[in-house]
Structure 1
């Protein structure tokens, strides 16, 4: 078993990077956190870097967040190899092999297919995390509507997803650094239950104590709505295309989170209860 002492985390202030930093620090790993934020509030002992390239010398492993790295993705992997890094853990997505027109996150900067391919072809040890939709995505899409009323408008009320808690992705990522048992695997990670948009709204209303309704809207209205909250038209189109394929079809559930962590995956209800402030403040 390879012992990794020093891990570079790109996207260290993100929804996965931040809890991953905490997991590794708790396990006694020296963490180098890459963030563009000058004061990111990392745990004691974490060394902050503004550039992944600056963090690499002497490191053993790297967490690759393609959105955070942007055009620096390929140079970072090349430099990691030069620096003697032995392991890469890539943040990809469960739909990385799908047509790009059905990958909404691509239009927010994710390069899920590329980051996995580059890690696999690097010649280094690798693990690819392929999570389903993040639970936190629903805060970004719905929080404003929930704060201002009791109706959430969106596409396809009967479409289904299996949201995964961001912290569960981070916990699996930590295992990819702390053990060798996940090496060379593409891990399809989902939440523990398939929920329609109507179900999700029911869960949110129940936890928040605020009766909510989901109202299905035409595709054009959905695209306009996404643009209103700062998402691109391409993102809205890809999100609609993705959900259209899951209408009246339960989302895939893999149970890999439970198998890897030895505990149940976090339910959407549990995640909402832990993050109420995202929907109420």
Structure 2
């Protein structure tokens, strides 16, 4: 049995699909099973992963854990200790490339560092997937694109190599099911460095429509996000990272290709798959 935290997130859903496709039994942890909409055959666990005692009974028979630090919050050590005590063997941590290539405010990296440290101390065989920004983050632009065809944001020259969540999920499934990944840290990125102008252009190509990115002052973007009711953490995290990526692009690795034996999925492929989200 594989226990998946963050089961309704972008990577968690993809990982469940990959694992089920390989015949693995999956226990998916969600705070609200009634809205989870997970695939048939998945054992849905209604629990709060940030309170490990709520899923105590679900750990029986679990051999491996896919751990999302954001879902588990500060309870990683307790959850993994419980898993190890019940006979668990390995953990795969959905970490971030910023652990190895720091950008933005230090406090946003610490959550992933603490999760990694807890995994190392747990006694479980561990693997860290330090991923670049998700291609799916571009879905935040969908309302602007549908309404005006113009994405307004800061730091248009900020460049990263966004990764398709399916690639993260496939690497995660390999590490959860197969030996040979123990004690390894993988920096996972997409195949190409793209700035924000590039990403908007590629979404436009997927739509068959010309789109544009309009540069705005960072403080104006920040105030606009706060006016939408977003907590301060969101613009702080986003704008801090973009400011640094505008000065120095994020990493680009060939790790996905080396591990999976095929090229990493491109942002253009992601945009084509998700074009409907950007159409009226």
More helix by share: 2
Are 1:197 and 2:211 an aligned pair?
Answer: no
Alpha-carbon distance between aligned partners in 2 of 1:191 and 1:210, rounded to the nearest angstrom: 24
Tell me the equivalent position of 1:62. 65
Cα deviations by residue, 1:91-135 (Å, 9 ceiling, x for unpaired): 11000253771576x7xxx92121111112212100011100001
Structure 1: 5+ residue stretches without partners:
1-5
CA distance in 2, matches of 1:189, 1:99: 16
Equivalent residue for 2:51? none
Residue segments in structure 2 that go unaligned for 5+ positions in a row: 48-54
CA contact (8 A) 2:146 2:279 kept: yes
Instruction: State the partner residue of 1:3.
Output: none
Tell me which residue corresponds to 1:277. Answer: 276
Deviation at 1:246, TM superposition (A): 2.2
Q: Over residues 49-108 of structure 1, what are the superposed CA-to-partner deviations in whole Å (9 max), with x where a residue is unaligned?
A: 11243321111111111222234333211211111111011111000253771576x7xx
- 2:13 pairs with 1:9: no
What secondary structure is seen at the aligned counterpart in 2 of 1:198? helix
Are 1:84 and 2:87 an aligned pair? yes
How many residues are aligned here? 271
Question: C-alpha offsets along residues 126-170 of structure 1, whole Å, 9 cap, x if unaligned?
Answer: 001110000111112x11111110211111111101100011110
The runs of 4+ residues in structure 1 deviating greater than 6 Å are none
| TM-score, with structure 2 as normaliser | 0.90
How far off its partner does 1:211 sit? 1.1
User: What is the alpha-carbon distance in structure 1 between the residues aligned to residue 190 and residue 220 of structure 2?
Assistant: 29
In the aligned structure 2, how far is the partner of 1:279 from the partner of 1:54? Answer: 42
* Cα RMSD after superposing both structures: 1.9
* Structure 2 residue 139 is matched with structure 1 residue 139: yes
Which one is further off, 30-39 or 7-16? Answer: 30-39
TM-score, normalised via structure 1 length: 0.90
- Verify: 1:23 aligned to 2:18, yes or no: yes
Shift of 1:233: 2.3
Does residue 232 of the first structure (1) align with residue 228 of the second (2)? no
Aligned partner of 1:50 in structure 2 is 46
- Summarize the alignment of residues 49-128 of structure 1 with structure 2, pairs less than 5 Å apart: 49-51=45-47, 52-96=55-99, 98=102, 101=105, 111-128=111-128
